[in-house]
Amino acid sequence: MKKAFITGVTGQDGYYLSKLLLDKGYEVHGTIRRSSSFNTQRIDSLISEHKSSGKFKLYYSDLLDSSSINSLIQKIVPDEVYNLAAQSHVAVSFKNPHFSTSTSTSGSVTLLDAIKNLDANTKYYQASSSEMFGGVGENSLNENSLFIPKSPYAVGKLFAHNMTKVYRESYDIFCVNGILFNHESPLRGETFVTRKISRAVGRIYHDIQKKLTLGNMNAVRDWGFAGDYVEAMWMMLQHDTPDDWVVATGKAYTVKDFAMEAFNVVGLNWEDYIQTDSKYERPNEVHHLLGDPAKANKELGWQAKTSFEELVKMMVDSDLKLAEKEKVLIDNKLIKPTWDHS
Ligand code: NAP
Ligand code: GDD
């Protein structure tokens, strides 16, 4: 039975990747951070499902704690390591630059070095990001495009990306970079723009929110479904040779397009509800990200299966159900509308 080690298992991709690997018969070992409130909501269903088999194991750790990461790698001796952990919000990385960059820089070196010292043919996946391209111009971006990072987040990711290549070339370790473009789902963090929109549509429809305030609505992104993208992560580690691959849909939309489509799902006009505020703009905006997945299509046989319209509908439908439950609790004075985290 293959063993996978996943950092960032409590995140959006952590859930979808764990599910994929558990369904394939892997034993999955994931790290979670100690927090004063519970942070395993996304993976609670997997924890219960695999309680008796013992195939889903969790450990307290943090990528900044190299000693705990080293001990875990030595104890588990995984076949595959997926480094998904990051402070992944670009706007927040301007506010917490040290933490955001260290998690990616120190974290990747700790893992790569632990794998090198283990000497057990462990394969490594680095969660690289289209954010590293910087979004200058409107060309479709591939593995050979220039990286022009524009945020502390992107600088940290570029360090980890380059370090992965250094370990691959220097020590013959099977390590890959998945340069993933934006991918979303009903489990997306609520402060990313797609989920902020789908959550607002659900709440506006159920009359528990009046307006939605956004930043730059002209920003362009290539949005896919996270469930499709974790398959590409796994496929990369099954390929004959290690390399770097872009994972994207090849189609680009504006934030405004996403909002229009989301309000359309419930038959409302977005213009009646959306306002803008410059506080949601970044100090250095990434304007346009469109990916060219030709290499992943050809070499990995990977294809994005979910269309933009299907993705938006999936997210809005899920958030309509959530808002309906919230409405009952609010009407019965069991909860109060929460602080705006966005
Ligand atoms: P996410 O939902 O924000 O999850 C991030 C995970 O990292 C969470 O489990 C978080 O733990 C954990 N984490 C943060 N700092 C950590 C630290 N210092 N030590 C250990 N764990 C830490 O992100 P995602 O959307 O699943 O993305 C997964 C990875 O892919 C990230 O590295 C992200 O930067 C990268 N990526 C994402 C996209 C995208 O569009 N989603 C695109 C390209 C690349 P808590 O739950 O405790 O906060
Ligand atoms: N979050 C947010 N909130 N973004 C907004 C808002 C808002 O109210 N209004 C407009 N935007 C714009 C942002 O300025 C950005 O141009 C775009 O919407 C997308 O923002 P996010 O959803 O926060 O994602 P991101 O593209 O910055 O970063 C995500 O994708 C990267 C891959 O390109 C994250 O998942 C990163 O971790 C990932 O690497």
What's the pTM value of the predicted model, to 2 decimals? 0.98
Atom of ligand 2 nearest to the CA of 88: 37
The pLDDT value recorded for residue 151 is 98
How sure is the predictor about 160, in pLDDT bands with cuts at 50, 70 and 90? very high
Instruction: With a cut of 90, say whether residue 336 has pLDDT above it.
Output: no
- CA 160 → CA 84, 93, 243, distances in Å? 12, 16, 14
| Ligand minimally distant from the alpha carbon of residue 18 | 1
Nearest atom (ligand 2) to Cα of 157? 39
Q: Distance from the CA of 195 to the center of ligand 1, in angstroms?
A: 15
- Fold for the domain defined by 193-221+252-286+307-331: UDP-galactose 4-epimerase; domain 1 (3.90.25)
| CATH 3.90.25.10 domain position(s) in the chain | 193-221+252-286+307-331
Position 340 scores a pLDDT of 67
CA of 19 to the centre of ligand 1 (A): 16
271 alpha carbon – ligand 1 mean position (Å): 32
CATH superfamily, with its number, for domain 3-184+223-247:
NAD(P)-binding Rossmann-like Domain (3.40.50.720)
Whole-number Å distance between alpha carbons of 182 and 268: 26
143 catalytic per annotation:
no
Q: What is the pLDDT of residue 342?
A: 66
Looking at 129, 145, 151, 342, which residue is catalytic?
129
Q: Count CB atoms within 10 A of the CB of residue 138.
A: 12
Instruction: Give the number of C-alpha atoms closer than 13 A to the C-alpha of residue 198, restricted to the C-beta side.
Output: 25
pLDDT at 99: 97
By percentage, how much of the chain surpasses pLDDT 70?
A: 98
Q: Return residue ranges of the chain for CATH 3.40.50.720.
A: 3-184+223-247
